């Protein structure tokens, strides 16, 4: 990486949402400014209220046949009503309170200098994982914060400059919360916050203080005077892990904060340095020397800034490393950062696009260990997912909900949206990706095959054979869309039969189970059954206007510009529809995408990044560029965090991390597209990026690709062979087959 420091001359005018995020997966902090104060909002990945962690699904499988009978008659009004009643859970549109536990902020840490120290600048080093603030005036100082990925702690350090004396107050607090009991204790060298959620979990935050000056407890803060530095080390223990056990497990690795940061930066950068990406700056570009907030503002006005496009890519990678590097859980809707006790959508896990999009970049960016957090999270649902499959639908196998929290509990929790069985097969795609990128047969045998088998087993019981011998999926939906003709019921999603996405997911999931069993040489009888099910799924339909059908039969969309494009899953992230394999569906999908965009689709950050990825998969270079740059122009804060509009909230937008992650995946797809067993280079390279280079991108087969291009053509391509030992590379309209031993580095003729 070359440009890895994001510099800002403006403080976080709109508060937390314009802050600088640091994280190590376990702990996270958003650094921002509130007037003369430096503020850190601190989070812990397991800090969810826990009030509903023992919930169970209702036993409603006996009603499934009744709902199906309504669907067979085309009575979508009553089918939708009763399906949601029996299988749709609480919360959402219902009058009941939802049972998804919200992700919570742990504490707020504030430092105010005792002398005039006005804001000067701030920066985020995305290679080393550290944020800084510079203050001037009569008491100049530097504030630096990093979430140490060696010790698992957070370090905040304030240091005086130019011989000045550091003095000020450090205060610890938590947002007012009527459903929690909080106590704060302060001594000269420590601040402790204990919090217990009513009916839920409890935790303790400990902030250890070190200074070369005088420190004294003063109410809810520590006052420091006569110092040159103040160091605060934050640790958190939760009752989930055992408060004292967790606090004892995570301790400073070294006593010197500078040495701690050096060790942290070495580990953090070892992941960030796996990928290199640079773009040449044509004449008329916004200046690379300008602060980021000015560059963002100029780009929003139409300026070209290729350097900022590259930084946005690296920033997305940074957010995934910061969300996972030494943590246990995958990033949620806001990664690991949240400032509210009532966050939008509970800051939860959405299984119908958002959680998946968070991880599309992981394998191509050589971050398989980050992807594994998602897989282990999915595996935590085995027991509850089996219970839910049986209780809700009378099926064996596993069912995952459309919306959930951290506890591995599989219950429908969003009335109006939750009648959907496609979450588990979509996660199966991620298990398959882990294998095809790594070639790890032990993983395939001991972990992935179990998940594939559980999903296939569910389909064995859930699919319904119709009078023509076709296996239908019912109830079915296309998240989160609806069609006309379902009666007066005002539900946000229409329940139907065999939506396009459900059929595509089923086809893929059965294929993973079949392919894995054949690779391992096991379960031939099951393979025969799975192949029969797959063969007799409904066809991938195309409408009379040439568009890919979203539902079973031609149905009018209530919202033709809907933010979701679920029926295009088969194009991306799947490769079910390609120009070689299913050209008719591939062309129909493009027409569907163009129709949706013509009617206002892509109007959220995550939806825009999915659109950019679609365009890249279709080889539409200028479409990719339009939608990728829109992530900055239309949805980025001044600090490049992705946003999502919020009706009735203050502020009217929230941070929504999936757009950041999806943007990285779209760039990977534009430059290194892997479909039909071939590696296609620069297939969606936009005219605005005539010169550039990318290094370290991984492909299926475990290969690594480095590309340099000039004037829109590749001038240098190097391929390091992976476990497969063979690759087909398509570049500059030439197709070349490379064979050798894993680890061999080969220059590709251009």
Mean pLDDT of the chain: 96
Q: pLDDT digit string (tens) for 594-633?
A: 999 999 998 899 999 999 999 999 999 999 999 999 999 9
Average pLDDT of span 73-79: 95
Contacts (Cβ under 8 Å, ≥6 apart) of 653 = 17, 643, 644, 645, 646
Whole domain around residue 149: which residue ranges?
5-49+102-272
55 pLDDT band (50/70/90 cuts)? very high
| Closest listed residue to residue 421, CA positions, set 497, 490, 492 | 497
> Cα 450 to chain center, whole Å?
24
Q: pLDDT digit string (tens) for 532-576?
A: 999 999 999 999 999 999 999 999 999 999 999 999 999 999 999
Q: What is the pLDDT of residue 192?
A: 98
| Closest listed residue to residue 436, CA positions, set 519, 501, 499 | 519
Is residue 148 over pLDDT 80?
Answer: yes
In a domain, residue 710? The reply is no
In a domain, residue 198? The reply is yes
Q: pLDDT digit string (tens) for 217-270?
A: 998 899 999 999 999 999 999 999 999 999 999 999 999 999 999 999 999 999
Q: pLDDT digit string (tens) for 366-375?
A: 999 999 999 9
> What CATH number does the domain containing 110 carry?
2.70.98.50
Neighbours of 318 (CB within 10 A): 28
In a domain, residue 210? The reply is yes
Q: What is the pLDDT of residue 286?
A: 62
In a domain, residue 407? The reply is no
Residue 444 per-residue DSSP state: I
**Residues 733, 718: Cα–Cα separation, whole Å:** 17
3-state secondary structure of 112: strand
Please state the domain count of the chain.
Answer: 1
Query: Could you give the dihedral angle defined by the CA atoms of residues 500, 424, 704 and 732, in that order, rounded to the nearest 10 degrees?
Result: 0
Is residue 94 over pLDDT 90?
Answer: no
Q: Decide: residue 529, CB within 10 A, 0-12 exposed, 13-18 middle, 19+ buried.
A: middle
Cβ(306)–Cβ(7) below 8 Å: no
Q: Can you give the C-alpha Rg of the chain in angstroms?
A: 26
In a domain, residue 712? The reply is no
In a domain, residue 196? The reply is yes
Is residue 516 over pLDDT 90?
Answer: yes
Which two three-digit tokens encode residue 433? Answer: 């990706």
Q: pLDDT digit string (tens) for 264-323?
A: 999 999 999 999 999 998 765 667 889 999 999 999 999 999 999 999 999 999 999 999
Q: What is each CA distance from 299 to 309, 653, 671, 711, in whole angstroms?
A: 10, 20, 22, 23
In a domain, residue 251? The reply is yes
Q: What is the pLDDT of residue 598?
A: 97
User: Where do the H-state alpha helices sit in 275-381?
Assistant: 292-300, 306-324, 354-357, 368-379
Q: What is the pLDDT of residue 489?
A: 66
């Amino acid at each position: 990486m070359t440009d890895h420091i994001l510099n800002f001359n403006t403080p976080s005018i709109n508060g937390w949402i314009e802050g600088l995020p640091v994280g190590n997966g376990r702990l996270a902090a958003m650094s921002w400014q509130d007037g003369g104060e430096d503020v850190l909002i601190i989070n812990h990945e397991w800090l969810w209220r826990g009030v509903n962690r023992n919930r169970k699904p209702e036993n409603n499988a006996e009603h499934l046949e009744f709902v199906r009978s309504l669907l067979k008659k085309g009575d979508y009004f009553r089918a939708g009503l009763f399906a949601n009643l029996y299988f749709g859970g609480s919360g959402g549109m219902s009058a009941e309170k939802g049972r998804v536990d919200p992700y919570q902020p742990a504490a707020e840490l504030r430092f105010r200098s005792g002398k005039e120290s006005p804001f000067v600048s701030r920066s985020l080093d995305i290679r080393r994982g550290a944020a800084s603030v510079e203050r001037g005036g009569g008491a100049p100082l530097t504030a630096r914060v990093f979430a140490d990925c060696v010790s698992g702690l957070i370090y905040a350090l304030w240091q005086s400059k130019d011989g000045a004396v550091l003095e000020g107050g450090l205060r610890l607090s938590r947002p007012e919360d009527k459903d929690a009991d909080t106590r704060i204790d302060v001594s000269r060298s420590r601040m402790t916050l204990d919090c217990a959620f009513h009916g839920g979990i409890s935790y303790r935050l400990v902030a250890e203080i070190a200074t070369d000056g005088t420190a004294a407890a003063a109410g809810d803060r520590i006052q420091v005077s006569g110092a040159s530095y103040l160091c605060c080390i934050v640790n958190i223990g939760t009752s989930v892990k055992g408060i004292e056990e967790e606090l004892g497990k995570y301790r400073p690795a070294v006593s010197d904060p500078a040495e701690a940061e050096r060790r942290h930066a070495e580990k953090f950068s070892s992941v960030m340095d796996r990928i290199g990406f640079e773009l040449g700056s044509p004449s008329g570009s916004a200046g690379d020397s300008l602060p980021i907030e000015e560059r963002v503002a100029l780009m929003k006005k139409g300026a070209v800034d290729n350097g900022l496009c590259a930084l946005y890519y690296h920033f997305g990678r940074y957010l995934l490393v910061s969300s996972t590097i030494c943590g246990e859980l995958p990033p949620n809707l806001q990664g690991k950062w949240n400032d509210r006790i009532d966050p939008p959508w509970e800051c939860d896990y959405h299984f119908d696009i958002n959680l998946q999009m968070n991880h599309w970049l992981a394998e191509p960016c050589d971050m398989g260990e980050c992807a594994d957090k998602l897989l282990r999270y999915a595996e935590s649902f085995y027991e509850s997912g089996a219970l839910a499959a049986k209780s809700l639908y009378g099926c064996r196998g596993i069912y995952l909900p459309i919306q959930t929290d951290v506890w591995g509990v599989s219950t429908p929790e969003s009335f109006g949206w939750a009648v959907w069985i496609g979450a588990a097969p979509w996660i199966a795609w991620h298990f398959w990706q882990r294998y095809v990128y790594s070639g790890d047969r032990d993983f395939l045998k001991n972990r992935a095959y179990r998940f594939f088998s559980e999903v296939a087993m569910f389909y064995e019981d859930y699919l319904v054979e119709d009078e023509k011998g076709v296996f239908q999926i019912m109830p079915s939906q296309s998240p989160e869309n609806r069609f006309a003709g379902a009666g007066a019921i005002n539900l946000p999603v229409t329940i139907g039969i065999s939506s396009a996405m459900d059929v595509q997911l089923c086809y893929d999931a059965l294929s993973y189970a079949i392919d894995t069993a054949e690779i391992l040489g096991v379960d031939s009888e099951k393979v025969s059954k799975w192949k029969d099910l797959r063969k007799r799924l409904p066809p991938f339909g195309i409408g009379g206007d040439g568009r890919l059908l979203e539902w079973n039969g031609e149905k009018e969309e209530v919202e033709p510009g809907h933010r979701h494009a679920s029926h295009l899953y088969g194009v991306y992230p799947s490769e079910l529809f390609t120009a070689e394999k299913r050209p008719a569906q591939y062309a129909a999908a493009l027409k569907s995408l163009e129709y949706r965009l013509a009617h206002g689709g892509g109007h959220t950050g995550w939806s825009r990044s999915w659109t950019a990825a679609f365009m890249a998969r279709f080889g539409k270079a200028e479409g990719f560029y339009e939608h990728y740059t829109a992530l900055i122009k239309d949805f980025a804060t001044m600090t490049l965090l992705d946003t999502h509009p919020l009706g009735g909230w203050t502020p009217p937008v929230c941070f929504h991390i999936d757009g950041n992650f999806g943007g990285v995946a779209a760039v990977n797809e534009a430059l290194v597209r892997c479909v039909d067993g071939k590696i296609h280079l620069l297939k969606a390279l936009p005219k605005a990026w005539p010169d550039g280079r990318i290094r370290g991108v991984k492909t299926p087969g475990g290969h690594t690709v480095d590309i340099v291009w000039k004037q829109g053509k590749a001038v240098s391509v190097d391929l390091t062979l992976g476990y497969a030992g063979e690759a087909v590379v398509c570049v500059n309209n030439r197709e070349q087959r490379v064979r050798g031993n894993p680890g061999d580095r080969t220059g590709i003729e251009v």
